[in-house]
Each structure stands twice: as structure tokens, then as C-alpha cells.
Chain A
């Protein structure tokens, strides 16, 4: 089993991993977000599977769990491209990969790249929201739903962590329309 920096079970819902393990022999879990900024790191992980002789029931799980760099809206994500480029280079069978992603409508892109680069689009792409940032049953507190508010302290809430241009523009637009003082706002944009 590939050793990862973070336990993959904390990234993908354990229920999902259990379903996979009921059916397949998982030979490794690759978390793309751990290697996407430096693709040579991804190469050092994937080289372990170079020309691997997969048995019928073996599967390699790939977790596409973070954003990707798209040069433009019609392009292919750098991480997706690099992954399949390396699979082709190391002769890794994409037929034995389960590609889990939190990007909706990405299946066509992935299959297209796999076909172009690896000459096979027979790859299972599973788009799911069931990652660590999806609420578990015990996160859901029914009492929060009670509708007992009698007054609002602000019109809106807008919470902003890392500085992104779309968050910056949202706040600028709020300011332009003199709505800033009507909101419960946060931003953590200091570098």
C-alpha cells in the first residue's frame, strides 16, 4: 500500500472506501492534492506501479480532491493531464484505476485525456461529494432547524478564508453598493 502524508480515509468518506474494498483488492491510494504542485513528486509515487501486472480484482484508487489549474475554461487541468501523462509513461493500466473526484461534469474531460494520452478511456470516474467536507450524520443537529429567529442582526453573512480574486471582487462589489455594513463578513487575506 502506498504511504500517503495524510490518511486517505480522512479525505474520502470511510463508507465509500468500504464499498470499494468489499469488491476490489485496493493496491494503493493516490491523493493527487499531495503531489499536484510538484508533478515530479507524483512521478516518484506512480513509478512504483510501473508496468504493474494488475490481477483482475486489483484496483488503484486515485483521489482528485482539490482544485486544479486550468489555463483557460476550455483546457484540461494540469493535474489531470500530468497524472495520465505519467500513467502512459509508466505503462500503468487505466482500466484498473478508480478515479474519485469532487468535480462535477469532469468525466468527459478525464476520459478524453485518458483516451488521448493512454489510448484507453476505460476508466471508472466517480464524481461524489462524499469527502471529509461533507457532513456526517452526527454533524447534523436537528435543533438548528428551529425557526425561532425574531430579528436579524445583519442582512447577510459572507465568510472568506484564503484570498481569491472572486472573493475580493465580491467584497469590492458589496462595498460599491454600500452593503458592507449590512453584513457579517470575514476575510483572511493577509499573506
Chain B
């Protein structure tokens, strides 16, 4: 048996969940966290869940909203990481913003997907800390919140070719990855 210097955490943890927070962000957390911490809530429109075979990807209720704010598995993290949350946006055909590792959107673009910088600034994704990325994203959302339903529908209509592209890109990306694996191993 091995008894050497292996790395562990106490308690055992699969993620370092500490955020880099300025005093201002601490204050915002302190002010609002009691609303959410140790609580459960699910909006009545939501059907199924990420572990349900039928709704894991085909979450039709997302289409009743203008944009899907994806909170990925990790955010203060050195590598880009995408789970079913991101792919769900592509499959369902909804515009999205991502709270994830820095430059997640750039990575998706490298994969051949299109993001939504024609309709809002995606500068948020490039900011160095999670807190800065979240605040910048929410400010973009705040701007969108001032638009009426008719304008949102018009914007959504303009996005359709991007949505279709991403949907089709899922299969292209998959085949490209399979080719890459064949070449690499």
C-alpha cells in the first residue's frame, strides 16, 4: 500500500468553492444570501431536472424565457468546463449567457459555436474573477429587462440563424472530436 504524500482536503472536496470577493461583493452576498442559502425553490414553470432522462436536454420551458443564464459546475477554475447545462441551451435552441470559467464563450467559439455578442456585450466572460463576471452579466441582463416583449421577440427572431447554427454544430462538433481522437491516440 502507498503511504506517500498524497493531497487531500478536510472535509473531502471535489472543488475549491472559495470566491475572490472584494468588500463590495461581500456586502452584496451578506445582504441577500439568507434568501437562498439552505433553501430550495423551483419556479412552477420548470419541469423535470438535469438528471431526468426526458428533460435533461429537452427542457421546453426554457423557450418561455428570453435568455438562459447558465450557472456552470465551476467558475473560479483554471480550465474551461462544460456540462449538460451548456449543451442543453444548444439542443433546446435558446440564447444563453454563462457563469463559468473565464473565457468560456471564447472556448465555445473555438469549438465552432456562435455566441450572442451581436445583441449584448459578452465582455463579462473575459473578466478575471467570478464576481466581476457575474456582476457584468447581471448588468447586461438588467439592460435587457428594460426592453418590452415586442422588442425581445424581434431580437429573438434575429437570433434564429445563430440558434440553428449551434443546433447543427452539435453533430459537427461531435464528429470533429471523434476524428481528433482517432488521430491523437
Contacts and interface: CB of A to CB of B under 8 A. Distances in A.
Interface of A: 15-16, 19-20, 23-24, 33, 36-40, 43-44, 47, 59, 66-75, 78, 81-82, 85-86, 89-90, 98, 102-106, 109, 124, 126, 128-130, 133-135, 137, 139-142, 144-145, 147, 149-161, 163-177, 179, 182-191
Contacts of B31: 172, 176
A39 B71 contact: no
Interface size class of B (residues with CB under 8 A): 35 or more
B90 to A, nearest CB: 8
Contacts, number: 298
A183 B97 CA distance: 14
B66 A152 contact: yes
B63 A169 contact: no
Contacts of B139: 177
Nearest to A50: B2
Contact of A184 (B46, B79, B87, B142): B46
Contact of A144 (B40, B41, B93): B93
B134 A189 contact: no
Q: Tell which of B17, B28, B185 has the most Cβ of chain A within 10 Å.
A: B185
B138 A145 contact: no
Interface string B139-159: 101101100010011001100
B78 A154 contact: no
B36 A140 contact: no
B64 A152 contact: yes
B117 interface: no
A75 B16 CA distance: 12
Contacts of A187: 36, 39-41
Contact of A164 (B17, B25, B80, B83): B17
A177 B141 CA distance: 10
B15 A166 contact: no
A7 B108 CA distance: 29
B13 A158 contact: no
Given A155-B65, A184-B61, A179 B141 contact: yes
